[in-house]
Structure 1
Amino acid sequence: MVSLTRGCFVALLYAFSAILTNTAGSRVLELSDRFLDIHKDGQWLVMMYAPWCAHCKRLEPVWSHVAQHLHATPIRVGRVDCTRFNSVATAFKVKGFPTILFLKGDQEYAYYGDRTRDEIVKFALRLSGPPVQEITKPQSFFTIKKDRDLYFLYVGDRSGVLWELYHRVANIFQAHAFFYQSHPTIVDKHAPVENVPALFVYKESSHYNFTGHNLSDIDKVNETLYKWVNAERFPTFPKVTRGNINQLYLTNKNLVLAVVEENQLEEVAPDMLEFRDMVESVIKSKREKYHDHFQFGWIASPDLVNNIAMMVLPLPSLIVINTTTNHHHIPDDETEKLTPHVIELFLEQIRNESAPRYGGNSWLVRIYRSWFEMRTTLASMWRGNPILTGVMFGTPVGFLLLICYGSFCPDILDANDEEDENASSSHMKND
């Protein structure tokens, strides 16, 4: 019986190996179109890629590190060449490369965050377990606080209105944050529990209590809890990137950004670092005053901010974006004159709607923004490689001129020939 079981196991292992081949020097599984037959078995973190895609090539070393980090978990990390296996791209409705998907049974989640090892790993780990994970030992909090810079915690029994609403919201935001549940005796001194049930968010080494609930109005609690989790799932002063800015827009807050610039080593110059820290000090010292209305952050992608502002901002600078209307505000004062007090006055003007606003969603603004982005992109390409840019855009223009020449010049020549023939005929008649 033992030999039969072992034989079946070996047969299954060889069958599975026929479907998957391990990439040399990596724990990433190279998948084929036969992946469609097994993708519902277990948990998968898969990158849909194309060999010609530059973004995919940049992601390859990161993806290898992700696979290495998740090797001891039930999550299998693989990738699919969608140029070879079009059926896989069609089945998962892949519209661009790279596309990162987490698959668990019938559930499918797309990843839209920063393409870094830590962020992708946390995304996979969040989705690999239940929406709300239970903490059963007091010492577990030390590990969680060490590994999780932000998480939500429900203290109380797994019953009642608040628990049901919390579990429902956790289902919605599972891909974006960690959700836990424990009991007062387990939590002990790790969170300031006064009444049960209680709900907290942990970030910047502090627990912040959810207080905006009155269980007599379930619909109101549900709406308030959703908004609270949606807003609190970000650090107080995060780095804003192309990967997370769209998620920050969903908070419907005013986005206060300290605009700086990083070098290739992701280092910020001392003067810009001082400006960034000064902006951060405003929200850190006046959190209760501004946190409900403003989401603070810093951004090291000036081109992204310039496209939003439709102008080239000086570095460093400050911009406030209304995420609901796409309007933005820029202080009248020069950067050198900005102090915490001046910034507070500027924020108060935004709150009472007396500050000048720019941009918006009108069709004229959209046309101008598109034109500005195109002009900026072309200018950047020209600075980076003027010869290649000239060839790329000069060649189509040259072909267009040839087509125009071939279309119109023969008509002109024919017209001249007809005039010459008419002139010759008239001359002969006169003779």
Structure 2
Amino acid sequence: PNRFYAPWCGYCKKLEPVWHDVGAELKSSGSPVRVGKMDATAYSGMASEFGVRGYPTIKLLKGDLAYNYKGPRTKDDIVEFANRVAGPAVRALPSKQMFEHMMKRHDVLFVYVGGESPLKEKYNDVASELIVYTYFFSASEEVFPESVTLPELPAVVVFKDGGYFTYDGECCVAMDFQFGHMDGNDYINSLIMGEVSVPSVIILNTSNEQYFLPSEPIETMEQLVQFINGVLNGSAQAYGGDGVIQRIKRVAFDARSTIMSVFRSSPLLGCFLFGLPLGVISLMCYGICTAESDDGSDDIDALKREGLTDEEEEEEEDRQCAAELEGPEEGENEEDDAGEKDPEEKKTD
């Protein structure tokens, strides 16, 4: 298997010693599986090609297929996953002893019974895809206990809780609901962008991404049936969906989740990654808003404070020039007038 990690991821650092033990265990057991790791931030193109969206991500590469590991991050669980996926998708049960041994080891046992058929081809395809979750086997009808009777062959039989069930394709297609269970609520919380209490029941509509929650805790079979009937007849309130608003909420929720995971794993790195750009942008905005303009408004304001504008200043200069030009002429006229008056004044005298 290969582990995609990020240097700043706290979960990746916790997994490091476990990952080292996984490699040592597989090597000592002679397993053909090779263990490696890759910095997804340095090789982002490779990480994007394999669909890595979170850290750490564990994938086992087998041929053209890449299997995701989503189980507990312990040495034994990861080693068991690697050995299961690396082997054949469908394992044979040649004897009753082998069948009984596998029944003791596994809580759920999927077994194909019969020869070559279209059902076997589909079974093999499903096993190749779902081998990450459980084992798949094939056997003849003779290896089963006498209490196991099959109506027809080929058949797919599931052994669970001391009983067995035969696959019925028509019944599966006709079902309105498929039932499952999940440990914890982390995945559901991220799916509905909210929080679901544990334990709880939720119904998901995979066609339009809507979900339904009971109005009150379900404690009896009658309450569960009533809740399911409410979803079927449309009386139960639907949440979520795939509309534009929900998509915008999804983008915001994913961004918030990413930021919160960074701060939880490394607060100092989170402050640096998000605080520094915000600080630079804030300084740029402050500089733009407080920048002084060069349109001459400051000079006009200064002149206004002095009581003069550009036009008034020009008019004042024109008046001064006119006064200078008119000054000598007026002086000459006064002298001429004085010269003319002198003879008369003399006569009068």
Q: Which residue of 1 aligns with 2:164?
A: 207
- Cα deviation for residue 359 of structure 1 reads 1.3
Alpha carbons 1:329, 1:356 under 8 Å: kept: yes
Q: Structure 2: how far apart are the matches of 1:306 and 1:189?
A: 46
Asked if 1:166 corresponds to 2:49, the answer is no
What is aligned with 2:108?
150
Contact 1:151 1:178 (C-alpha < 8 Å) held by counterparts: yes
CA–CA distance in structure 2, aligned partners of residues 378 and 82 of structure 1: 19
1:284 corresponding residue in structure 2? none
Q: Report the Cα distance in structure 2 between the residues aligned to 1:84 and 1:212, rounded to whole angstroms.
A: 45
Residues 153, 311 of structure 1: alpha-carbon distance in 2 compared, 3 angstrom cutoff = closer
Counterpart for residue 63 of structure 1: 19
Measured in 2, the distance between the counterparts of 1:392 and 1:47 equals 24
Q: 1:90 to 1:167 in 2, by over 3 A?
A: closer
| 1:196 correspondence with 2:153 | yes
In structure 1, what is the equivalent of residue 87 of structure 2?
Answer: 129
Q: Aligned-pair RMSD on alpha carbons?
A: 4.2
What is the alpha-carbon distance in structure 1 between the residues aligned to residue 273 and residue 298 of structure 2?
A: 38
**Percent identical:** 29
- In structure 2, the gaps of 5 or more residues are 318-349
Is 2:141 the partner of 1:184?
Answer: yes
Unaligned runs of 5+ in 1: 1-44, 214-223, 229-252, 254-290
- Structure 1's 351 and 123: CA in aligned 2 closer, same or farther, altered over 3 A? farther
Q: Partner residue of 2:179?
A: 295
Does the alignment pair 1:328 with 2:211? yes
Q: Which amino acid aligns with 1:150?
A: V
Aligned residues between the structures = 308
Match of 1:347 among 218, 228, 239: 228
C-alpha distance 204-292 of structure 1, shift in aligned 2 (>3 A): farther
Question: Could you say what secondary structure the match of 1:208 adopts?
Answer: strand
* Greater shift in the superposed pair: 349-358 or 90-99: 90-99
Q: 1:27-49: CA deviations, max 9, x gaps? A: xxxxxxxxxxxxxxxxxx33344
- Within 5 Å, give how 1:16-31 maps onto structure 2: none
Taking a change above 3 Å as real, the CA distance of residues 57 and 205 of structure 1, as seen in their structure-2 partners, is farther
Contact 2:113 2:154 in 1 (8 A): yes
The answer to whether the 8 Å contact 1:201/1:209 transfers is yes
| Residue 78 of structure 1, CA deviation | 1.7
What SS does the corresponding residue of 1:295 show, helix, strand or coil? coil
User: Residue 233 of structure 2 aligns to which amino acid in structure 1?
Assistant: N
Alignment of 1:224-239 (within 5 A): none
> What's the counterpart of residue 279 of structure 2?
398
Residue by residue over 1:339-366, the C-alpha shift from the partner in whole angstroms, topping out at 9 and shown as x without a partner, is: 4322221112113333221211011122
TM-score (norm 1): 0.57
> TM-score w.r.t. structure 2 length?
0.69
Per the alignment, do residues 200 and 124 of structure 1 end up closer, same or farther by CA in structure 2, a change over 3 Å counting? same
Q: Partner amino acid for 1:360?
A: G
The answer on 1:359 being equivalent to 2:240 is yes
- Give the aligned partner of residue 235 of structure 1: none
The 1:399/1:305 distance shift into structure 2, 3 A limit, reads same
Structure with bigger RCO (C-alpha 8 Å, 6+ apart): 2
Deviation at 1:67? 3.3
Whole-angstrom distance in 1 between the partners of 2:258 and 2:200? 21
CA distance in 2, matches of 1:201, 1:312: 34
2 CA distance for matches of 1:319 and 1:103?
A: 33
Distance 1:364 1:199, change over 3 A: same
Larger radius of gyration: 2
